[in-house]
Each structure stands twice: as C-alpha cells, then as structure tokens.
Amino acid sequence: MNFVHGFLALSFGLVLGVSVLLRPFIKDISKADHEYQVRIGNQIIVAEAVGSGNERERGLSGRESIGANEGMLFIFEKPDKYGFWMKDMEFGIDIVWLKDYKIVGFTENIDPQIGAKLADLKVYYPSEPVNMVLEVKAGRTGILGAKIGDYIKTKPLVFRG
C-alpha cells in the first residue's frame, strides 16, 4: 500500500509541476490564436484581435505600453460609428479607422488622459461607419506611411488546417 500511495503522490507532483512550468507557454499559445499580422504598405503590425464586448471595452487599458510593431485590431460585425476612449490607459495611441480593409481615417497622438475622471474622458469617433479599428503606438501611423484609401491585409498568425 505504501508503494501505491508513494507512486500516486509522485505522479500528482509531476503533473502539478509540469502544469505550473507550462502555464506561461499555454497562455502565450492561447493569445497567439487571436493575433493577426496586419500589413499596411510594406510595414507589418502584430495585432491582438478582439471581438467580444468585454475585450473591446478593455482594449489596451491596464498595459504599460505596446511595442512599435504591436497593436490591437477591433473587429465588428457591421459598420457603425463606434466610439473609443482612453479609460485606464497608460500611453498614447493612434487609431486607424477601417471599413472593409480600407483606411477611411486616422486619429493620431491621442493623449491617455491619465487621472481624468470617467465622465471627463474624451470619446473618439470615425468620420464614417467602420467595421474594423486598429490601435497602434502613438506616432506610428506617420511612420507607416499609410494614407486614406490604402488597403490593409490581415492574416492570422496561427493557422487551423
């Protein structure tokens, strides 16, 4: 009986240890399921795609920063004039407004409004209905060289075959 108990305890310990060690990697794999390569001209942005209400509302808030080639891609079911705010943001962003993969506008160098009351936060809207929005680091759209009327290309970073 002691051998069986010892074997079970050792097995449980191994499973627990392996799961603790692999947890960060599993999280990264899960995150990669929602990442897209977004090509604007000859530049590539790796963007986390969000589609649900909670993910959309949270957006990039709570993060300290994003890299020069990182962003967040918001995907909507239908075109509309969706509003974006800087709630709990720690850094400035540029917004690229998109309709059917075509750039229809930019809002650049948006101040994070750190310390502003919720009621005082400015809400940013596109000039026309959009069904996608790309948020990137402030100042990045100028470096991308993108213009209104340009098309973007997207592809998932993890392919399901």
Q: What is the mean pLDDT of each run of 10 residues along the chain (161 residues)?
A: 49 40 39 77 90 64 80 93 90 96 97 91 96 95 92 82 49
Torsion of CA 52, 126, 47, 76, to 10 degrees: 30
Query: Quick one: pLDDT at residue 63?
Result: 67
CA angle 110, 114, 116 (to 5 degrees): 100
Q: Quote the pTM value.
A: 0.75
Whole-number pLDDT of residue 64 = 76
Which of 136, 156, 158 has its CA nearest to residue 146? 136
